[in-house]
Amino acid sequence: MNNFFDIDCNLTHEDLRKDVPKLLAAAQNVGVTAMLVPGTTLETSREAIQLGRLYPQQVFPTAGVHPFHAVTLPSEEELESLRELSTQVFAVGECGLDYSDGFPSPATQQTWFESQLRIACAVQKPLFLHERGAFTDFMEIITKVRSEVSVFPNVVVHCFTGNQMELQAYIRSGFYIGITGYICKKHGASVCELLKQVPKERLMIETDAPYMGFKHCRRNESDYRAKKQYPNVPSALPFVAETVAVMLEMSVAQVAQLTLHNARRFLML
């Protein structure tokens, strides 16, 4: 059986947290032997850490504040709590910028983002990043912080759905790229094509469960129903790998081995 590493499964999300044992068992049954479980608030970061303690072979927690939750400027107490949590995890994040409708102000997001970049540099943990509709500011803040430190951590831009210009900028910066089941959808065709430009040593795969569902994504679950695409589940990762394999003219086994190796290198395991 292939061994897969899902670099983003939101097990602390309200639509998954009640079924964690079942979800992990179903994932294990199809070879998803490890997954990064991101914190998106201080509270869910603590939950992710606890899951990592309960399932140390399968769950690798992160700590961070997602841009959706960057509602007010960070207090020193919040940043100190995040610094402490960051010493207990494998990466800092999920953090970044998202200028979609309904998100907090760019200024508040930017303050949280820069603060978390600096925390990651201080504790020397990889960065698990989110960017949507904010590419220019995203890169400017990273470039600023990067210029001020002697060693900048590994970076993955997860759930890549951007364009060629953005992808090439990430590649030039040495970032890892996370690919989701978005490529299994009809409107993901452009990202499918861009996938061919990602250096193989920078490619990782993810479900982003419960998000980024696609047709038949729940096929490996006991309660499978063909039309149900939400919530997406970690056992869907082999289907993402199958699409990657077709696009890159590789076997699924090769994709599994490659992306597992890349995930472990990214996390410095």
Ligand-binding site membership of 208 (annotated): yes
Q: Do the beta carbons of residue 71 and residue 96 sit within 8 Å?
A: no
Task: Of 132, 140, 184, 136, give the one whose Cα is nearest residue 158.
Answer: 132
Report helix, strand or coil for 70: coil
Read off φ and ψ for residue 158, nearest 5 degrees: -85, 160
Distance in angstroms (rounded) separating the CA atoms of residues 119 and 84 = 10
Distance in angstroms (rounded) separating the CA atoms of residues 110 and 247 = 35
Structure tokens at 12: 């602390």
Ligand-binding site membership of 19 (annotated): no
Distance in angstroms (rounded) separating the CA atoms of residues 202 and 269 = 16
Helix locations, the chain, DSSP H: 20-29, 42-54, 76-86, 106-123, 135-147, 164-172, 189-195, 237-248, 252-266
| Packing angle of the helix pair 237-248, 252-266 (nearest 10 deg) | 110
Structure tokens at 4: 């897969």
Structure tokens at 63: 């700590």
Task: Of 24, 11, 7, 16, give the one whose Cα is nearest residue 235.
Answer: 24
Per the listing, tokens 């419960």 go with: 210
Read off φ and ψ for residue 79, nearest 5 degrees: -65, -35
| Partners of residue 130 on adjacent β-strands | 96
Ligand-binding site membership of 130 (annotated): yes
Ligand-binding site membership of 158 (annotated): yes
Binding site feature residues for a divalent metal cation: 94, 130, 158, 208
Binding site feature residues: 94, 130, 158, 208
